[in-house]
């Protein structure tokens, strides 16, 4: 099910939470959506171009899940690590050129650790090159209704032409749950074991905020601190997107405040169109 958000909406929530985030205006964006009905509850700058940072890995995982479902990839398959993939800057899993990583571990490394070396290896494995993979990611974005997203790499590492919107990230988050519920649990993980060591994740909303069950955080200097958060409890499901906060703590507090207001809000909401 694809989601196309209606334009020209108005907020039914108080703006104070947005104004409390000391983010640069050219970086900040937010959106709250009822993931069951497609109703938009709140938005600010949600259609403005923003750098996704490691939110990019949500699409990398979408492409990998799709390959698994199509039978093109097996969960126990071994992904080779090229010298290019091994050279990607942090966050990293620390893979070396010539090594291999199985698909299940690669998924955990992307969802939990946000490993850039693994993202590049997955892109090369699925498309032959990371550049080719980025083209496929962008095509998939268009298919999902992400009209304003262009991917240039599999990780979210800095590229001035890698752009998205808060709106498009919400579309992707909803598509991940709707299309791949059998894999969605990966986004709820806070750690995993790799070669005898515990690898911890970056998403501090998990386990701290009741009902939050994923998805992904991200940061590069050009983007500020980003998060796409999924809430599912008491028969309610929301997607909260915050982009451009100055710190991870501010980002998390802001996302939590928006979620709390969504849960308590009973005002009229803007409907979106479901296809």
Question: What pTM value is reported for the model?
Answer: 0.89
274 pLDDT tier (thresholds 50, 70, 90): very low
Burial 204-237 (b: 16+ CB within 10 A, else e): bbbeebeebbbbbbbbbeebbbbbbbbbbeeeeb
Q: What is the pLDDT of residues 27-48, one digit of tens each?
A: 999 999 999 988 999 999 999 9
Residue whose tokens read 């501010």: 250
Structure tokens given for 92: 């990293």
Mean pLDDT of 129-154: 98
Mean pLDDT of 193-205: 92
For the ranges 23-32, 60-69, 92-101, 199-208, which has the lowest average pLDDT? 23-32
Distance of CA 74 to the CA centre of its chain: 23
Q: What percent of the chain has pLDDT over 70?
A: 88
197 pLDDT tier (thresholds 50, 70, 90): very high
Share the mean pLDDT of the chain: 89
202 pLDDT tier (thresholds 50, 70, 90): confident
Judged by phi (left if over 0) then psi (alpha if -120 to 50, else beta), residue 63 lies in alpha
Amino acid 271: pLDDT: 40
- pLDDT at 9 exceeding the cut of 60: no
For the ranges 57-61, 239-243, 250-254, which has the lowest average pLDDT? 250-254
23 pLDDT tier (thresholds 50, 70, 90): low
Fold for 3-274, please state it: Beta-lactamase (3.40.710)
DSSP category for residue 53: G
């Amino acid at each position: 099910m694809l989601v196309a958000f209606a334009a020209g909406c108005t907020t039914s929530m108080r703006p104070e939470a947005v104004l409390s985030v000391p983010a640069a205006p050219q970086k900040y964006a937010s959106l709250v959506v009822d993931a069951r009905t497609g109703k938009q509850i709140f938005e600010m700058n949600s259609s403005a171009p923003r750098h996704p940072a490691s939110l990019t890995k949500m699409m990398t995982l979408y492409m990998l899940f799709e390959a698994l479902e199509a039978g093109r990839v097996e969960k126990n398959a071994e992904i080779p690590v090229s010298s290019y993939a091994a050279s990607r800057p942090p966050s990293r899993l620390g893979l070396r050129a010539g090594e291999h990583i199985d698909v299940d571990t690669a998924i955990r490394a992307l969802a939990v650790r946000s490993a850039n070396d693994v993202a590049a290896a997955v892109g090369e494995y699925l498309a032959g090159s990371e550049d080719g993979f980025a083209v496929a990611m962008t095509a998939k974005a268009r298919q999902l209704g992400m009209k304003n997203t262009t991917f240039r790499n599999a990780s979210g590492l800095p590229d001035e032409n890698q752009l998205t919107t808060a709106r498009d990230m919400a579309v992707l988050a909803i598509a991940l749950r709707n299309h791949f519920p059998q894999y969605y649990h990966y986004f709820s993980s806070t750690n995993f074991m790799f070669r005898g060591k515990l690898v911890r994740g970056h998403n501090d909303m998990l386990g701290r905020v009741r009902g939050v069950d994923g998805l992904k955080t991200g940061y590069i200097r050009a983007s500020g601190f980003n998060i796409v958060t999924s809430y599912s409890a008491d028969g309610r499901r929301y997607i909260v997107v915050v982009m451009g906060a100055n710190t991870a703590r501010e980002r998390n507090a802001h996302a939590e405040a928006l979620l709390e207001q969504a849960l308590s809000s009973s005002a009229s909401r803007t409907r979106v169109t479901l296809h």
